[in-house]
Structure 1
């Protein structure tokens, strides 16, 4: 049986933030767009559920030619206007204006800081300024993901439904002609398919969903490759298109630069091998090594220099650590990265979110204690030490050293703020001077506090997340060959391009920069395609 053939003007591979931004820009310029993703259609029913990473959506902005040029132009304007209106209504007024500026000016300026990361010495390394809950739903709605369900959907929407296929199943690959990437082929639930396009934009993500590739490109800066590493990225982000673009002559660079996390835990409900969750590590917890000794001499504190945390955890015996805290600290400070684990953010339930910030996230902590093998709880330290030793199973934990470490830290707290000479205590005082951090940081308190509730230990490991390198691109998001010349065919944006230029953010990027780079480079890719069409 021959593969079903679909032709389009512009094919965007990957419906994440970069892919959606590229598609929006192309639609604004009157281009026909086919947006293709590996996930099934069911993943697009709740926009933002996976933080824009896996929305299977297809949209043709122009109606079929037989409906007449006048109808096509009117339909395109109507769909774009409705998409923008829905996007603006889904945002707060400030963020809505910021997104409009991002669309018009090529940058993203978000209205309010939601969280920041500090570098050693207290310097704020470029505040992470992003608001996740509203953005997660805005761009998919702006693109018109729900347009296919409208009763007045035109012929183009019907055609889109027929072409909507998962892209990366068995036998998928880039389509080439005379060495140029011109489309995509693969196998979906309805059989083999092939897509040919005048222009191809690769926004397929990085390599970090494939732990074999993570091992291949592992930088010894983080110690030897950890056999206990967790996977915090969808396995479909496997770097397959990197290899195929490379085979077509494009350069792929700096794949050893990764943005991983040091506070990974096993997922209580794993969907694939070594599936992990990335904790936003508690600031007030003691971070210990496998023996029960505090990691030092500079203490490891959550929210300060993720890059350094990964280096230090990766070079510890056993390549894991323990966060030790009590119930009161956990319900105030414990959180998990990602919209799936933060439904009040995802669904924009402001009042419930504020109540949770004030009273603590008891539901999350109970769920982790009951379901996650890496989260342990006990009424006293000797019992907890026994559980920790049993879980580790390597004989490294010294219960007496663990008790001495906690007692020494608590004694320093009881001396009072005027005598604090512990770096972690100084940082906690600093964090609580800023409103955003004060909401999520406990008042300084002993770990073994009589009113603190059960003691909790969390085994933390490295978890694979983002690729900081990728396809080498120029300022127009065109993939470059070994001579620095654009490769015939594809342009590239987002994580697949190392967030631009094969690694625009460097090795110590702050996470807030990923967002703006996806939008900036998505717009540059769309402008390059539109300019090519104008010149030809």
Structure 2
């Protein structure tokens, strides 16, 4: 067994672990970062992330004349979170986030050379519970990929970089946290050998549980019923909850593991990185969302951008584990998107003019790519032809073409009457979304689905896809792990998604969206600050 000693051991090489290491290099004392993945995939799920962050009272908001404040943000946060009376630490983290994200996330990132796109988007506006009262969703220019690359480069170029040792392809199997010894043991998956790391402080930064579909199902929110039989994996497969179990064995408290931030619109990845790998789509507002029989899901139509958790609830309670979105090429070119850095290459590679061109003229490149690569993305010149493809994909003639024809005709007739007579809630929400200029360019003006000038029809077969854990290891505002009595376990910290982005569930039942990468940065910086104050 190989044994190493250090001042601080960081387990997990995602953004939370990287930020912790970057801050702690100021100590100029030995650090060990243990990561299960290969060197080129250091950065974890952030490498695949779109990079959106919910930030409060930023210069970008002020330039767009958005009046925001920590007080308003906290009010919105509580409305969406549905906190319980006993949620002391989640509430404390929510307040801490809204009050300090500008200084400790936004300005920190800017100081490290990272920038945000000037347009602020308005997501999670709320449906039955008020959500974001104002636009707060800031897109990191370069996506999460550029964030990871930038911070990793700064790790390597730090004046004290020789104090950091990164152990790639090392899987931790046991945490040690006693008066006699603190650290971990595990296996070097590259050669099968065992290792031990001894440390004065241990920081758990291993993500949540949603990289394991089985853990997602085991911890499913039971008031919604049974989980869908088929769930795609949109998280990192190494975020499987193993270290949650290790922390629990040491007396650490796990909370709100049934609170998750999954997405309702996933398709299998055409070139999967692992078994069950899915792509999380940003569902088109102008598409009709249908059940497996081709009936419109209702009575309230499903429309993205208002309450993602509600979409997941409705989709998970359908008779079959799949749904459909019905749209046309015009809608897809304007509204269709895939979350993450992999399919947003113009933003990821910071090609401003190419990005603006695709935004204004339509992202026909991505639509053609999905048509060619995904068997869940169907294109046809007529509705009967499209229904034939849809039924072929499900191996059963679930959809009656005459019934679907009547549904589309009824919807199109409502559009033809004109906006003054819109009496469909989906059309009303589309009109509302288009009033905000950042959404207007990405949301089509209503036009009949079978309008001859709108191109061929498209049907996308969707499954629910796992993404992020909202619950996790309970921590105080210094990211110290708390035991069942609420006392800090000496020398043990948890950051990022492992800690439910703070306190074991800072977002509560719903997120205002964009509180994840920023939550990783904030919790990591707080942990490092505590360690730096008491080295």
TM-score (norm 1): 0.82
Structure 2 counterpart of 1:41, from 39, 42, 49 = 39
TM superposition shift of 1:249: 1.0
Distance 1:528 1:146, change over 3 A: closer
Partners of 1:304 and 1:510 in 2: how far apart? 10
Distance 1:146 1:388, change over 3 A: same
RMSD: 2.9
Partners of 1:122 and 1:470 in 2: how far apart? 24
Does the residue aligned with 2:141 lie in a helix, a strand or coil?
helix
Partners of 1:45 and 1:236 in 2: how far apart? 12
Distance 1:273 1:97, change over 3 A: closer
Structure 2 counterpart of 1:482, from 477, 481, 484 = 484
Partners of 1:378 and 1:425 in 2: how far apart? 24
2:140 paired residue number: 132
Distance 1:530 1:344, change over 3 A: same
Confirm or deny: 8 A CA contact 2:326 2:457 kept in the other structure. Answer: yes
Partners of 1:335 and 1:135 in 2: how far apart? 14
2:169 paired residue number: 166
Structure 1 counterpart of 2:213, from 211, 214, 226 = 211
Confirm or deny: 8 A CA contact 1:99 1:109 kept in the other structure. Answer: no
Matches within 5 A, 1:93-104: 99-100=106-107
Distance 1:31 1:401, change over 3 A: farther
Does the residue aligned with 2:502 lie in a helix, a strand or coil?
coil
Confirm or deny: 8 A CA contact 1:119 1:305 kept in the other structure. Answer: yes
TM superposition shift of 1:158: 6.2
Structure 2 counterpart of 1:343, from 332, 336, 345 = 345
Partners of 2:393 and 2:154 in 1: how far apart? 47
2:183 paired residue number: 182
Structure 2 counterpart of 1:113, from 84, 95, 120 = 120
Q: What is the CA deviation profile of residues 313-335 of structure 1, one whole-angstrom value per residue up to 9, with x for unaligned ones?
A: 11111032110000111111100
Does the residue aligned with 2:371 lie in a helix, a strand or coil?
helix
TM superposition shift of 1:394: 4.1
Moved more, 248-257 or 44-53: 44-53
Partners of 2:242 and 2:344 in 1: how far apart? 30
2:61 paired residue number: none
Does the residue aligned with 1:227 lie in a helix, a strand or coil?
coil
Partners of 1:331 and 1:227 in 2: how far apart? 31
TM superposition shift of 1:194: 2.2
Distance 1:111 1:528, change over 3 A: farther
Q: Is 1:380 paired with 2:382?
A: yes
Q: What is the CA deviation profile of residues 56-95 of structure 1, one whole-angstrom value per residue up to 9, with x for unaligned ones?
A: xxxxxxxxxxxxxxxxxxxxxxxxxxxxxxxxxxxxxxx9
2:266 paired residue number: 264
Does the residue aligned with 1:451 lie in a helix, a strand or coil?
helix
Partners of 2:204 and 2:343 in 1: how far apart? 29
Moved more, 247-256 or 109-118: 109-118
TM superposition shift of 1:302: 1.9
1:426 paired residue number: 428
1:23 paired residue number: 21
Confirm or deny: 8 A CA contact 2:282 2:338 kept in the other structure. Answer: yes
2:401 paired residue number: 399
Partners of 2:302 and 2:48 in 1: how far apart? 29
Distance 1:224 1:97, change over 3 A: closer
Q: How many residues align?
A: 480
Larger radius of gyration: 1
Does the residue aligned with 2:199 lie in a helix, a strand or coil?
strand
Matches within 5 A, 1:26-425: 26-28=24-26, 30=28, 32-44=30-42, 49-51=47-49, 99-100=106-107, 112-120=119-127, 124-126=131-133, 127-134=135-142, 136=144, 139-140=147-148, 143-145=151-153, 148=156, 160=164, 163-168=166-171, 172-177=173-178, 181-190=182-191, 191-425=193-427
Moved more, 199-208 or 14-23: 14-23
Confirm or deny: 8 A CA contact 1:389 1:395 kept in the other structure. Answer: yes
Confirm or deny: 8 A CA contact 1:183 1:194 kept in the other structure. Answer: yes
TM superposition shift of 1:526: 1.2
TM superposition shift of 1:496: 0.3
Distance 1:311 1:379, change over 3 A: same
TM superposition shift of 1:178: 5.1
Distance 1:51 1:314, change over 3 A: closer
Confirm or deny: 8 A CA contact 1:263 1:462 kept in the other structure. Answer: yes
Partners of 2:147 and 2:308 in 1: how far apart? 28
Moved more, 354-363 or 136-145: 136-145
2:83 paired residue number: none
Confirm or deny: 8 A CA contact 2:376 2:462 kept in the other structure. Answer: yes
Q: Is 1:499 paired with 2:501?
A: yes
Partners of 1:425 and 1:287 in 2: how far apart? 13
Partners of 1:179 and 1:461 in 2: how far apart? 49
Does the residue aligned with 1:522 lie in a helix, a strand or coil?
helix
Partners of 1:314 and 1:122 in 2: how far apart? 20
